Amino acid sequence: MSNTNKMLYDILVYLRISAASASKSVAAKILENHEKATVYSKLDGKTSQQKIADSTGVPQRTISEWLNLFVESGLASEPNEFYPSHKALFTLREVGIDMASLKRRKGKPPKPAVISDASAPDTADQKTAELERM
């Protein structure tokens, strides 16, 4: 590794640690419940909103609203030329979020969608589940 690459790496690590530290108070306010933190933790820059909705049971419309909030708060980046989907800028651990201590949103906890075969999910059941969560 060249000295330049080592120096750039050291700068990157320092900036990442500084940014995560500065973002802790914002993250605590924004990621205040289990569902939001779960959605945030799935933002890898590759996974679509619909796939996140399917795996978490959180409606896609809600996820879309949360993604805007995450971006505005400096916790995530929008899709770009490098990442086709939103990307979390930090891990939950880096911003001091402990999933075990977070409360679930009021109402029925969301259940992840489980598709046992290649057939399409029953949309009537999905709409009923979404209405129950509202």
Q: What is the CATH number of the domain that holds 37?
A: 1.10.10
Report pLDDT digits (tens) over 25-83: 999 999 999 999 999 999 999 999 999 999 999 999 999 999 999 999 999 999 999 99
Residue 113: inside a domain = no
Q: What is the pTM of this model?
A: 0.74
Q: According to the model, what pLDDT value does residue 113 have?
A: 45
Residue 111: inside a domain = no
Report the number of distinct structural domains present in the chain. 1
Residue 35: inside a domain = yes
Give residue 126's domain range.
3-99+122-133
Residue 115: inside a domain = no
Dist. CA 67–CA 109, nearest whole Å:
20
Residue 116: inside a domain = no
